[in-house]
Amino acid sequence: AHRAAVEAGAPTIGVLGVAIDRTYPASNRALRKKIEDCGCVISEYGPGEASPVRVGFLQRNRLIAGLSKALLVVEAREKSGTMSTVGHAERYGRPVFALPGSVFSEYCAGTNRLIQEGRARLALTAEDLCEVLGLEEAREPRRAPAPPPRPLDEPQRRVLACFGTEEASVEELAQRSGLPTAALLSTLMILQLAGRVRALPGQRYILC
């Protein structure tokens, strides 16, 4: 979830189960730096303060639940730290969502149980969460306006002036423009990419 938020440029909060000056596991240092750049990292343990790793991570789950407007459980065993976070969210009155999963997977046993018992709302799309949280549905980002067309150079203007309303062959365009065949073909390629002319079968061209 943190990686997805960072890649999308969205702020995210990392809640540590160890002292604030530690990164556990150490392999997450690069990810932590990215989280700090667009969000923050917090811990209830001060610099250098010792904290039992297992207990610390279980205790931090209440902070995760308290900081959240809602809790989305993607996967969870029936007995897991994630389920303890669900318990805290329920006590804090936070809405809980869960994704359904395979009945044959132990990693989906917790989420399926939450849905079955009515402790979690079924989440199938992002809109399911947005509706409850009062958020607008995510929209496709606006496309940047197309850059203005580049001005035509002399060979391009000369070739375009050779066209009428009908198609023309390479030989006809070479004769009318006075350009060498190699230069003419290069110019025609540029005009095609610019959307000014269209190639037809038999080395013939027509204005778009």
Q: Is pTM beyond 0.95 here?
A: no
Look at residue 22 and tell me whether its pLDDT is greater than 60. Answer: yes
Average of per-residue pLDDT across 82-94: 95
Q: How many domains does the chain have?
A: 2
Q: Is residue 148 part of a domain?
A: no
Q: Is there a single domain that holds both residue 118 and residue 186?
A: no
pLDDT of residue 118: 95
Q: Is there a single domain that holds both residue 76 and residue 110?
A: yes
Average of per-residue pLDDT across 94-109: 93
Look at residue 4 and tell me whether its pLDDT is greater than 80. Answer: yes
Q: Is there a single domain that holds both residue 125 and residue 166?
A: no
pLDDT of residue 147: 63
Query: Cα(190)–Cα(186) distance, rounded to whole angstroms?
Result: 6
Task: Give the Cβ contact number of residue 51 at 10 Å.
Answer: 20
- Helix, coil or strand: residue 123: coil
User: Measuring CA to CA, which residue among 166, 167, 170 is closest to residue 187?
Assistant: 170
Q: Is there a single domain that holds both residue 12 and residue 80?
A: yes
Domain encompassing residue 195: 154-207
